[in-house]
Amino acid sequence: MNNKKTFYKYKTLDNFEFLLDLILKERLYAAKYNELNDPMEGVINVENIIPREREVEWKELIEKFRIVCFTKQSNNPLMWAHYADGGRGCVIEFELSESIEYHKVSYVKKPIINEKDINIANALEILKYKEKPWKYEAEYRCLIQKEDFVAVSVKSVTFGARAEEAKVDMLMYILKLSNPDLKVLKHCGSNLFQNVGLLSTYPRSYVAKGIDEHDYCEKCNDMKFAREYFRKL
């Protein structure tokens, strides 16, 4: 296992609430196995016929886990295409803390399971495997129980070359208030990156004290308050 815990998560810009939850609250959603896009998640190769009640038991064991998926590839064309809306989305660079365990997904043939192998340890093991066609993802996973999120430390956001300008502007506006130190880039194609210039893109957005005292809001004039507000959303 590589000791460097820097990873990447490709996202679309279609659901702002999910993307902002990741960036501002610095956490990755842990999905149930049947929420993932691979219909073979948790499916096993069995040696002999397994009684129906044991099949039910296996399903219950698999359902005990939640899965967080990510990669170490920061600029994979297929990942941009399949998970970032064909380059219209973004990729989030993040780090895991030393205390969080993760697993490298294996794309070799899954081990064969027989009735005596139906237990929680093997359920965990099977969730580290995917079919060979998914190998391009170079996926890593956290497999957790009793939690819906894994905490991360977000390091940068890179928008795809085809990201809609209005959506990028809106996200940058929010990030400027909530996390002005976050590194934000725009992919220009051909492996070139251009710094978006998060801090200089917009003027200050809060109301200035002046003409009408009734329109003045002390909290709106406080950048610290704005940052905390967006992080609590």
The 10s digit of each residue's pLDDT in 27-54 is 999 999 999 999 999 998 888 888 999 9
Task: Tell me the pLDDT band of 229, cut-offs 50, 70 and 90.
Answer: low
pLDDT over 60 (residue 23):
yes
Taking CA atoms, 188 is separated from 9, 14, 17, 142, 217, in Å, by 19, 20, 25, 31, 40
Helix and strand element counts for the chain (H, E) = 7, 12
How far is it, in rounded angstroms, from Cα 201 to Cα 125? Answer: 47
* Beta strand ranges found along 181-232 (DSSP E): 183-187, 193-195
Q: What are phi and psi of 232, to 5 degrees?
A: -90, -10
Continuous segment of H or E residues that includes residue 120 = helix 120-126
* For residues 192-206, average pLDDT: 41
Whether residue 68 contacts residue 29, with contact meaning beta carbons closer than 8 Å, is answered with: yes
pLDDT for residue 233: 58
How far is it, in rounded angstroms, from Cα 116 to Cα 19? Answer: 42
Report domain extents, the chain. 6-202, 203-233
* For residues 98-124, average pLDDT: 93
pLDDT tens, residue by residue, 129-172:
999 999 999 999 999 999 999 999 999 999 999 999 999 999 99
Whether residue 16 contacts residue 3, with contact meaning beta carbons closer than 8 Å, is answered with: no
Above pLDDT 90, what percent of the chain? 64
